[in-house]
Each structure stands twice: as structure tokens, then as C-alpha cells.
Amino acid sequence: MEFTQPSMSRGELAPGLRGRVDTVAYSIALQLCRNVYTKPTGGAASRPGRRFRGRAKYGDRYTRLIDFVYSTEAKYLIEAGDLYFRFWVNGALLTNATKTITGITNGATPTVTAVAHGYITGDHVLITGVRGMTRINDRTFQITVTGTDTFTLAGVNTTGYAAYTGGGAASRVVEVTTPYSAAMLRDVRYTQSADVLFLVHGAVPIKELRRLTASSFELRNFGFRRGPFRSFNTDEARIMAVSGTQGVVTVTTNVDTFDPAMVGGLIYLEEKELRGVKPWASAEKNVPLGALRRSDQKVFRASEVPVVVSPAYYITGSSRPTHSSGRAYDGPQDIKNDGVNNYTVGVEWEFVHNTFGIVQITAVTDAKTATATVIERVPDSIVGTAPSPGNTWTFSGDGVDTTFAITGSVSNNANDYTVTIDGVPTQSNPYYPGGGGVDGGGGGNVRPGGDSSPGQIPQ
């Protein structure tokens, strides 16, 4: 029995579906589809053949191919090999810095002449268009620079080749050094976003391959901005503070914390003392221009308020500010009447900072001092200097008394004091479970010597 199959767009059926004559897909599918590509429009086309385009850098080591599609016009095939990436475009190696060849010698170590070539020892070059010594064409070589106008080719003996008669060009192969050995390549996972390819392997930090221009790439470490972080500090005896809210700052602690291996790491500093800024509230009357309010774990400044014509007034709106940059109104700034006076609804709020800051360590001075660059603005309440132990005192228990007067004390607030045992800051309340912050973490809130309330130290 013969019948006309109008379409093959469903491709090849899985073995378990070959008896499902009741499905619509059955009539437009194939039992076997070999060396054929089915088209969405219904037809099919023979699979195209393959063509030799060139050699990998190393013929005896595992090499992996990775697609890198920037646009419909800019498509690359990455040759991922042992500790390197090379790039293929339209079937040819990606190169730059092309120089005209004026001579190639015959010998065990052939010398190439190319005026003012600008290459450096260790570069790989692609040779093309040479006349006479044609066996050297379309091959790549590692070079050793012997002069401003000359370099030698490694791995080739041209003694038995025909003599060079003219023409030719040398082009530097675009190559990026990577930390991925041949044994690691199979386990590299990747994803692309625009002109950046993100690469992940468990043995090395996350990398990003960036396309800088049509013929240049760069591999760099992925720049973490918001973590990951270790567990939050729960010991309020450990104090950290920074010298400023933005730019390059000095980070100080009251316990040994830093070591040179921490350079490049991130520190999360969270406010503990929140009473300095009132919470934002709907329908608040006549918020002063420049006033700070706290909302959605952020701090905002009143950047514009309605003009008040006595005895009228204005109030904040009902849209709580939550934005993370710029300015936004909390109400429409329309005019209403309360039965006696007209009033305006809505204040403009400018984002100032979060209730936390993030800094990246750039240098370690000693175990208690480091230099850092602010990644996210540090709250004002964390600015200061971590305190050092001040006056000391010693008490001897008598087995009866539980309360002792501290000589010279001027405050009855426990937050104004620190406790140090044998030179080590200690939690003043041994039963304190840890306060504030995320997942029970939080920073110390200590104000000795007039210092501002510091933040927290990651454990």
C-alpha cells in the first residue's frame, strides 16, 4: 500500500512511538532519518559534507569545540585546547597583525623576513600565500623573534622544500591563555550573554571570556559584587569599622582578622544601630527637605517637597519607596482638601544607600587593618575606627555579689562598653544568641570612645 507523506517536519520517531499510528505526528515523521536534515516547512535536505579547515594546535591532546555566536554576522567557533583558546571564523583561524613576508630560508630552523613585524617570542603565526615554498602555506608555527625584521619557525625543517620565490603573509593567531588543561575541558560548563561567555569548572575560579573587538578576546575572573559570603558574625564583641562611605577606605577590626590571602575578597558590613534614621510612613506631614527615612532595608533622602502656602501642608503618599537608584515619588503630588485646607500628596525620594555595604580588600596592612575599595556604599553608621581596649579593671567574686560598680563609668548602657578577657574581645552576655542581620547574623553595636557604631566581621 502506498500513500503520500506531505511532511517530514517531526523528524525521526523514538522506537517507543513507532506504533502510535493514532497520533498526528505519526503521519509527518520518519522511522529512520540518516544523513538528512528535516525542515520546519516539511521537506528534507541531505546532510552537507565536511571539509578540512585546519589543524588544532596540538594533534595529540584532547580539544573541544564551543560555539560563540555574538550576532548573525559575528559567529565564532572556539578551539578549546590544553591551556588555550583559539578562534575560527568562516572556516579560518582568527588572526590579526598581518605582515608581508619578503623571504624564507631553507634549513632546519627557517628564518622568515617580515619588515617591522612587531611579534614577540612565543606568538603563533599563520603563513599564507607563499610562492615557491608552498608546502609552508596554511600552517601555524610558534616563533622565536631574532630581530626587528626576522623571526624563526619552530617545528618545521625546510631543507628539502622548494626555495622561496616571493609573496606570502604572516598573521598572528588570536589566542587566549586559559587555566583549563586537556583533562579538565570535558567538565567545563558555559553559558553566553551577548559578547561574554561565562565558564565554570570546580577547580578554578569562575571565568568570563569577553569579546573586545572583532579580532580580540580577553579571559578574566568573574567579578563578584554581592557574595558569596561566609556565615554572618554572631559575636558582638568582634567589631569592624571603615574610614569612609565610598572610594578607597581603611577597614579596622578589634581582633586579628586579616591575612594577605584575603586580598580580592569581599566583606559585607551591615548596620546594627538603626535608630538614627526614622522609618518612612505614609501620610507623614511636612517631611523636611533633605530628611532621611528608612524603607525596604534602604535609606532615602527627601529630594523634593511641595511648596507650602500657609496654612496648607503636604503629606507623604502611599507608594513606599523601594527603588535602588535615582529618585521616585511616593505619591502623585495632587491637591486634596481635608474639609478645611488644601494639601498636597507626594514627596520625591532619592536613594542614598542600603542598610549594608560591601567592600573589596585590596591590601592587608596587618591582622587588624586592611585597605579596601567600596563596591556598595557603606552606611554612615559604620564609619569610624574599631575600638581598642581602654581602661581595665579586675573584680574578685565573693560568692554572693553579682553586680559590680565599674570605676569611672559614665553610662548605664551596656552597649557603651566592651569586655576583653586576656586581650581577646568577648561577648558581654554569654547567653546572647546573636542578633540582627541575615540568618541570625549581625554586627556589634559598640560605641566606646565616641566611635560610631561599627558593622560586623564575617567569621
pTM tops 0.85: no
Q: What is the maximum span of the chain, computed from C-alpha positions, in angstroms?
A: 109
List b or e across 324-338, with b for residues whose CB sees 16 or more CB atoms inside 10 angstroms: eeeeebbbebeeeee
> How is residue 76 written as a grid cell?
565564532
Percentage of residues in the chain with pLDDT exceeding 70? Answer: 85
Is 106 in the same domain as 125?
yes
User: Do residues 115 and 8 both lie within one domain?
Assistant: no
Residues 102 and 169 reside in one and the same domain: yes
Domain CATH for 111: 2.40.30.180
For residue 110, is the peptide bond before it cis, meaning its omega torsion is within 30 degrees of 0?
no
Give the span between the Cα atoms of 170 and 147, in whole angstroms.
Answer: 15
DSSP one-letter code for 430: T
Query: In this structure, is residue 82 part of a structural domain?
Result: yes
Q: What is the CA radius of gyration of the chain?
A: 35
200 in the same domain as 82: yes
pLDDT at 455 (0 to 100): 37
In a domain, 364, yes or no: no
Boundary of a domain, candidates 354, 382, 399: 354
Q: How far apart are CA 216 and CA 173, in angstroms?
A: 10
E strand residue ranges, 183-277: 189-193, 196-201, 204-213, 216-221, 240-242, 248-253, 266-270
Name residue 207's beta-bridge partners: 199, 221
CA atoms of 122 and 263, how far apart (whole Å): 31
Instruction: Tell me the C-alpha distance between 271 and 382, whole Å.
Output: 7
Same domain, 99 and 167: yes
| Whole-number pLDDT of residue 230 | 81
283 and 350 share one domain: yes
Residue 235 maps to a domain: no
Quote the number of domains for the chain.
4
In a domain, 325, yes or no: yes
* SS3 category, 192: strand
202: in domain: yes
- Residue 223, pLDDT score: 80
Distance CA 192, CA 452 (A): 45
Helix H or strand E segment including 282: none
217 and 119: one domain?
no
Provide the residue range defining the domain that includes 313. 278-354
Same domain (yes/no): 169, 194: no
Is 208 domain-assigned?
A: yes
Same domain, 165 and 107: yes
Same domain, 37 and 165: no
- Asked whether residue 43 is assigned to any structural domain, the reply reads yes
Per-residue cell: 104 = 624564507
pLDDT for residue 355: 86
Q: Do both 38 and 166 map to the same domain?
A: no
Q: Which of 307, 295, 64 is nearest to 187 (CA)?
A: 64
How does pLDDT run along the chain (459 residues), one tens digit per residue?
566 788 888 888 888 888 888 888 888 888 888 888 888 888 888 888 888 888 889 889 999 999 999 988 889 999 999 999 999 999 899 999 999 999 999 999 999 999 999 999 999 999 999 999 999 999 999 999 999 999 999 999 999 999 999 999 999 999 999 999 999 999 999 999 999 999 999 999 899 999 999 999 999 998 887 877 887 787 777 888 899 999 999 999 988 899 998 998 899 988 876 667 899 999 999 999 999 999 998 999 999 998 887 668 999 999 999 999 999 999 998 999 888 888 999 999 999 999 889 999 999 999 999 999 998 999 888 888 776 655 566 667 777 877 777 666 776 666 566 677 666 777 665 555 544 333 333 333 333 333 333 333 333
> How high is the pLDDT of residue 1?
57
In this predicted structure, what is the pLDDT of residue 328?
A: 95
Q: Does a structural domain hold residue 348? A: yes
**Do 148 and 21 have their domain in common?**
no
